[in-house]
Amino acid sequence: MKKWVPIASGLLAGFAAATISFADFSSNAKTTETASSSNKSDAEKVYVPFGKKDDYYLFASGGHSGQMFIYGVPSMRQIRTVPVFSQDSATGYGFDEHSKKMMGDYTWGDLHHPAFSETNGDYDGKYMFATDVGNSRAAVMDLKTFTVKDILNVPNTSGPHCAAFVTENTEYMFLPTRFAVPLGQAYESLDDYSTKYRGVMSAVTFDEKNTKLNIAYQVALPPWSYDLSDAGKKSSKDWAVMTTYNTEEATTNLEINASQADRDFIVLFNWKELEKMVKDGQYEDVGGQKMIYPEKQKGGIYLVPVAKSPHGVDVTPDGKYFIASGKLAPSMTVFSFEKAFKAIENKDFAGERNGIPIINYKSVMEREVNPENALGPLHTQFDDKGMAYTTMFISSEIVKWDPKTGKTLDRVPVQYSPGHSVAAEGDTVSPDGHWLVALNKIAKDSYLSVGPSHPESMQLIDISGKMKVIQSSPVNPEPHYAQMIKADKIKAINVYPKDENNKEAVYKKDEAKIVRNGNKVDVYGIAMRSKFIFDAKAKRPDVIEVNEGDEVTIHLTNLDFDEDITHGFAINSYNLNMEVQPGQTNTMKFTAKKAGTYPIYCTNFCSALHQEMTGYFLVKPKQ
């Protein structure tokens, strides 16, 4: 059978079992070469022997787990799960004071597109940003510690799916939304959808000094769904693009009603111009946010017609083109930034929608590309030669093609239904080539069955020659999008350095103490192999005794300044656990609601005497 026969009805019906084989895993892999020499067998290419490390980090968004998954490439081994928008039992994220404050009342999240911070259009390995479609938030992770430093609640908006994509020097990341809502999410009848609802784009800045995310301004766009975005590069660096669907403004049964019009739009905007408008006071205050209304404050935003219901839009590494893919139209459309700039200059417009000028399609379109029988193009990545790799959701394959000619160069089936794919350094001005990972939405028959629902999957494709799938890895629940960065760009620390200014930290064993102030109890404690010291001078230093109803704060410092010696702190039956990494001080605050005797123990296996690392939390009853 021809490998890329499209499946016309039912996405997956008719697929034979996966044919990947790892038959030669037993061969003696030469351990001195890099994992990528081309005369190796497939198994050798992905085999990273003990003591060697992967060439790339892959950061995969964990979708509705609210987490970020860190994998090594080419081994495709999962190294770490970092909680971002959801509570995490293992680390105590969402239970300790810092993360509790960041999370607010939310306990889950839907983490979509991750984005590395950039310098001159290249990943700089310092920070990772991500957005939460579920509860409209943005987060920043510090890559020195792989921990989240700030979470921003984005007001006036609902579901920033279309994010985050950062500009060349991390000046902004843009958060356009999937759902239109009335500003401030006030109640409005759906009969007034077209006049009262808005899709809002937020321009978010990152204050590196204070590791804080801020909203610079927002734009009240028409009530359409904004799907994917990308920032310009090089000559287009002041611009950004985003796809939009449901320009029909349907309010029910979107499956049918949002697929009526032949054309939807790409929104093309100049963030430098918008920035200037805000500086000149051309905005309105909406709930404390600077809101630009495109129908009133003119300029900087344009519409480019595109085949109906587009999904991904990707800027080529040279910054000259943006490529839109259509879920419903089987084509990729290449648009030229240069032509768009010219059309804007010449006011080469075909009317307007909601006060926003529509650029003439013919004036900006470079070419429409329709690989034979390829169905459901979603997203495009690039290699070091500027070649494009587009995921085909419906025909379950990756198509390699040349954006300059539109010629199809290669195709490879994947198992199954890829959403995004990610190339090595794929969103930068200089992708590395060599590796592409297909982020598949359906694993079906790929792994041992675990019941009716399966994990999703990532498949590693060697793109150095003819494309070939050579490794596969399950992901729970999904790899929504991912970015892949050269491993040596990330400089993670081994221990938290001492911070003598931190009033909560205790760095000397005999300074551990319990301070009582009315019904407030502050414990300045220490965790070290293999004991807790809460009160150095007490008869039993590893016991915390309080009265029922006391407000207790545990400030706990890990005194083991030693790589990978992490301790945990849990109170039995109190629903509390947090970790302290080497050298770290962590805080937990709670009310001693239940009187009684509760063992304290270290939850992270830390030494031969880990089991002995315990204590007691005694709560005296009220009378």
In whole angstroms, how close is the CB of 600 to ligand RUQ at the nearest point? Answer: 43
Q: How many amino acids of this chain bind ligand RUQ (CB under 6 A)?
A: 12
Answer with the entry of ligand CUA, ligand RUQ, none that 604 interacts with (C-beta below 5 to 8 A by kind).
ligand CUA
Span near ligand CUA by CB under 6 A; candidates 178-186, 267-275, 294-302, 598-606: 598-606
Which residues, 507 to 566, sit near ligand CUA by CB under 6 A? 530
Of 150, 138, 140, 207, nearest to 175 by C-alpha is: 138
Could you say which of 397, 525, 567, 576 contacts ligand CUA (CB under 6 A)?
Answer: 567
Span near ligand CUA by CB under 6 A; candidates 1-9, 53-61, 396-404, 604-612: 604-612
Sequence-ordered strand ranges (E) for 383-442: 388-392, 397-401, 408-413, 418-423, 435-440
Could you say which of 610, 614, 616, 618 contacts ligand CUA (CB under 6 A)?
Answer: 610
614 binds ligand CUA (CB under 6 A): no
Q: Compute the distance between CA of residue 258 and CA of residue 184 in angstroms, rounded to an integer.
A: 24
Q: Compute the distance between CA of residue 468 and CA of residue 298 in angstroms, rounded to an integer.
A: 49
Answer with the entry of ligand RUQ, ligand CUA, none that 481 interacts with (C-beta below 5 to 8 A by kind).
ligand RUQ
Which residues, 453 to 482, sit near ligand RUQ by CB under 6 A? 480-481
64 binds ligand RUQ (CB under 6 A): no
Structure tokens, 409: 């160069």
606 binds ligand CUA (CB under 6 A): yes
In whole angstroms, how close is the CB of 580 to ligand CUA at the nearest point? Answer: 9
272 binds ligand CUA (CB under 6 A): no
Sequence letter at residue 562? D
Closer to ligand CUA by Cβ: residue 73 or 565: 565
Phi, psi of 453 (to 5 degrees): -105, 140
Q: Are strands 147-153 and 165-166 parallel, antiparallel or unpaired?
A: unpaired
Q: Are strands 520-528 and 551-558 parallel, antiparallel or unpaired?
A: parallel
In whole angstroms, how close is the CB of 225 to ligand RUQ at the nearest point? Answer: 11
C-alpha triplet 534, 540, 542: angle, nearest 5°? 35
- Are residues 310 and 327 in contact, defined by beta-carbon separation less than 8 angstroms? yes
Closer to ligand RUQ by Cβ: residue 112 or 531: 112
602 binds ligand CUA (CB under 6 A): yes
Closer to ligand RUQ by Cβ: residue 297 or 380: 380
Closer to ligand CUA by Cβ: residue 143 or 527: 527
Residue 264 neighbours by CB under 8 Å, 6+ apart: 224, 243, 244, 245, 246, 247, 305, 306, 307, 308, 309, 310
Q: Compute the distance between CA of residue 76 and CA of residue 392 in angstroms, rounded to an integer.
A: 22
Burial call 403-432: b when 16+ CB within 10 Å, e when fewer: beebebeebbbbbbbbbbbbbbbbbbbebb
Of 230, 296, 234, nearest to 269 by C-alpha is: 230
198 binds ligand CUA (CB under 6 A): no
311 binds ligand RUQ (CB under 6 A): yes
Answer with the entry of ligand CUA, ligand RUQ, none that 613 interacts with (C-beta below 5 to 8 A by kind).
ligand CUA
Could you say which of 40, 400, 420, 555 contacts ligand RUQ (CB under 6 A)?
Answer: 420
Closer to ligand CUA by Cβ: residue 395 or 603: 603
Residue 556 neighbours by CB under 8 Å, 6+ apart: 523, 525, 526, 527, 569, 578, 580, 585, 586, 587, 588
In whole angstroms, how close is the CB of 112 to ligand RUQ at the nearest point? Answer: 5
CA atoms within 13 A on the CB side of 598: 22
Alpha helix stretches (DSSP H) within 71-173: 97-103
Closer to ligand RUQ by Cβ: residue 161 or 290: 161
Q: How many amino acids of this chain bind ligand CUA (CB under 6 A)?
A: 8
Sequence letter at residue 173? M
Residue ranges that bind ligand CUA, judged by CB under 6 A: 530, 567, 602, 604-606, 610, 613
Q: Which residues bind ligand RUQ (CB under 6 A)?
A: 112-113, 161, 228, 311-312, 378-379, 419-420, 480-481
